Amino acid sequence: MGNTGRIASAAAGAAIAAIALTSRRGGNWRYGLLALGGGLIARGAVGYCPIQDALGIDTSGIGKGLVVNTSVKVRRPVEDVYNFWRNLENLPQFMTHLEDVREFSETQSQWVAKIPANVGKLYWDAEIVDEEQNQLIVWQSLEGADVDNAGEVHFVELPDGEGTEVHVRISYDPPAGALGDAVAHLFNGISEQVIKKNMRDFKALMEEGLEAEENDSNDENSSNGFSLKNIIDRVTSLV
């Protein structure tokens, strides 16, 4: 690690330690921040941080932000998929880095994200800036967010009732400077792999109970005399 990187790491560690020491919150949150801050200071001094290794934190992407593009096919009508996502309070059900989302108007909401290693939380308000029924939702964080971020989701109805294709783009951009490095270290647990897994969980959540519904539908059709066997039997009896 070069001198510039070591200085930035030490400054970020000092910023985290200062936040921990001046915060009114105690317990695991304070101890976690102090440990991480101390590790970053040590990394700045010697170029190595055992705490980061223990937590599995990769700092190679610090300062670059994160942009993820992914898609998933859901065997549900586009109206169902869109409506579930449009209720932003549903997002923590499958986005594991989110603890809570609260909507306080038609377009504005407050988000709470969990910091890896259970050392704290990040907060921001967001606003839906563009939407089209059953097609598109676009949101972005508002001024004062702990970490600037934005997202957009496109919903594409598939032919022949095959369901909906969901295309997602999510970006996180930590602020510049030592504090930004600190936030980026804390937020490092949100990776491309994590968000893609979240989307697979979203698919599973939306399709939950689908097989049972299809079986019930088949049973109902059979009871009404519309099963393939019944149709063949009726045609045969008329010949």
CA 98 to each of CA 45, 180, 229: distance values in angstroms, whole numbers, following the listed order: 34, 20, 50
Q: Of 11, 30, 55, which residue is a domain's last?
A: 55
Q: Which among 224, 42, 33, 6 has a CA at the least distance from the CA of 121?
A: 33
By residue range, what is the domain housing residue 123? 66-211
Global pTM value: 0.64
Note whether 25 and 80 are same-domain residues.
Answer: no
How many C-beta atoms lie closer than 10 Å to residue 156's C-beta?
Answer: 15
Report, as an integer, the average pLDDT of 198-226. Answer: 70
CA-to-CA distance for 137 and 113, rounded, in angstroms? 20
Per residue in 29-84, pLDDT tens? 555 666 666 665 665 555 545 544 554 444 444 445 678 899 999 999 999 999 99
Note whether 136 and 174 are same-domain residues.
Answer: yes
Per residue in 174-198, pLDDT tens? 665 545 555 555 555 567 788 889 9
Please state the domain count of the chain: 2
Q: Does residue 101 contact residue 91 with C-beta atoms inside 8 Å?
A: yes
Q: Does residue 75 contact residue 162 with C-beta atoms inside 8 Å?
A: yes
How many C-beta atoms lie closer than 10 Å to residue 170's C-beta?
Answer: 21
Let me know if residue 187 belongs to a domain: yes
Note whether 13 and 127 are same-domain residues.
Answer: no
Let me know if residue 221 belongs to a domain: no
Let me know if residue 185 belongs to a domain: yes
Note whether 42 and 72 are same-domain residues.
Answer: no
Note whether 21 and 77 are same-domain residues.
Answer: no
| Intra-chain end-to-end CA distance of the chain, in Å | 87
Note whether 71 and 189 are same-domain residues.
Answer: yes
What pLDDT shows up at residue 2? 46
What's the token pair of residue 197?
């897994």
What pLDDT shows up at residue 23? 58
Report, as an integer, the average pLDDT of 107-112. Answer: 96
Note whether 119 and 183 are same-domain residues.
Answer: yes
Let me know if residue 89 belongs to a domain: yes
